[in-house]
Amino acid sequence: MKSAALAKFRARRDRDRRQTRPARGLARALALVCCLASPLTPSWALASPSIWFGADDLWVRQWKHRAPNDYMDLFTGDGAWAKNVDVLALSMQFVSNGREDQLKTIIGFARTHRLKVAMTGLMLAKHPNCGEGIEGYSGPHGVERSAQRFHQLGGVLDYLVMDEPLYYGSVYPRGNACQTPIPDLAAEIAERVRQVRAIYPSIVIGEDEVAGLADKFHWVPTLGQWFEAYRGAVGAPLGFIHMDVGWLSPRWAGHVRAISALARKDGIKFGVDYTGNPSDPDDATWSSHARAHAWQVEHELGVHPDQSVVTSWMPHPNALLPPSDPSTLTGVLRCYVLMEQKPGDYARDCQ
């Protein structure tokens, strides 16, 4: 794209985004029409990504033996940090076990700021001989009970994010992993999907999965088999797939490119979890890496997600606020928005 055309497009996109949230869909539709009419506009510029935000809540931090942080402060005050967020992600554990007053505060915040809500889902049922202590597993009605509790508290779940069901349910090679064959795994997941849809019929169901696995796992074709099996068992395709990227793996970039193409070919929205590295020693290092990873995906690889997820389940960053500090999680969020909308401000404040 020529620089003048790019600047003109970004200026128009910035103007559209400043409209009130109810008008965002119309603004994006108009931008799409304009972009389709311009031969200079690349395909990735046809729509802005949906921005998701999630952080380890107080319950999960306690379970991980981490000190409380400013999580609930996100949901007090003017909530300015959330003005560019489309989806707020909550953990199934918090929805199941968190304090009722805290959950009601979050539900009210989401309603006031017109945020859709996603819940992570542990969709794999523990078996007598396997699954205990493996990520992604819970009791046979765990997800159903969590969704039911959120509904009873007056909340609406718009999205369910399955916690890496293919990797931990069928591929994971360690401990007492079940390594369930893909067709059987899809049938098992379909039952959990039916349970949740009985409570929230219009919920969009997708998943997190890893990117960067060793070649011996044949990960990309295995994902293709999984997409087909899930569609057959559930009667609908996955709504989305988000990449939990192993940024230190030499294979991550190839996986992100290939899985993006595979998902979009199957009509599945593609997203990336923008995080730092688990071994990062402090908030500033983690946040610097998270910002760099977003830049690498979108500006070096040229992969532009449908859904961009600013999140952390790692020890850092401990501080979530304020957004004016680029080392906090809302600071990473703010920098991502600047990268998308105002590259000059991004270069000044975030690099």
Q: What is the pLDDT along the chain (351 residues), one digit of tens a residue?
A: 434 444 544 554 444 444 434 444 434 443 433 343 333 334 334 468 999 999 999 889 998 999 889 999 999 989 999 999 999 999 999 999 999 999 999 999 999 999 999 999 999 998 888 998 899 999 889 999 999 999 999 999 999 999 999 999 999 998 888 999 999 999 999 999 999 999 999 999 999 999 999 999 999 999 999 999 999 999 999 999 999 999 999 999 999 999 999 999 999 999 999 999 999 999 999 999 999 999 999 999 999 999 999 999 999 999 999 999 999 999 999 999 999 999 999 999 998
CATH class of domain segment(s) 49-350: alpha beta
Q: What is the pLDDT of residue 351?
A: 84
How does DSSP classify residue 49? P
Cα–Cα distance, 320 to 108 (Å, whole number):
20
d(C-alpha 334, C-alpha 10), whole Å: 17
- Assess contact for 189 and 233: CB atoms under 8 A: yes
* Angstrom distance (rounded) from CA 21 to CA 136: 34
How far apart CA 15 and CA 12 sit, in angstroms, is: 5
Q: Distance (Å, rounded) from C-alpha 223 to C-alpha 156?
A: 30
What string of DSSP letters covers 251-298? Answer: THHHHHHHHHHHHHHTT-EEEEEE---TT--SHHHHHHHHHHHHHIII
Residues 6 or more apart whose Cβ sits within 8 Å of residue 245? 210, 211, 212, 252, 255, 256, 272, 273, 275, 293
pLDDT at position 89 is 98
Q: Where are the domains of the chain?
A: 1-46, 49-350
pLDDT at residue 3 in the model: 46
The whole-angstrom separation of Cα 261 and Cα 109 is: 36
Distance of alpha carbon 269 from alpha carbon 240, whole angstroms: 4
DSSP per-residue letters across 133-162:
T-TTEE-TTHHHHHHHHHHHTT----EEEE
Taking a C-beta distance cutoff of 8 angstroms, is the pair 248, 293 a contact? no
Residue 34: count other Cβ atoms within 10 Å of its Cβ. 16
Residues 188 and 172: their CA atoms lie apart, in Å, by 17
Cα Rg of the chain, angstroms: 20
Q: Which of 129, 148, 161 is nearest to 269 (CA)?
A: 161
Task: Phi first, then psi: give them for residue 348, nearest 5 degrees.
Answer: -75, -40
Q: At what angle do helices 219-234 and 252-265 cross, to 10 degrees?
A: 30
Predicted model pTM = 0.87
User: To which H or E segment does residue 204 belong?
Assistant: strand 204-211
Contacts of 42 (CB under 8 A, 6+ apart): 1
Q: CA–CA separation, 306 vs 269, rounded Å?
A: 6
Residue-level pLDDT at 33: 37
What is the Cα 127 distance to its own chain's centre?
28
Half-sphere exposure of 144 (CA within 13 A, CB side): 14
Which CA distances in Å does 256 have to 25, 116, 247, 290, 304? 27, 26, 11, 16, 10
CA nearest to 286, candidates 294, 275, 272: 275
Angle between helices 343-350 and 329-341 (to 10 degrees): 150
pLDDT at 47: 67
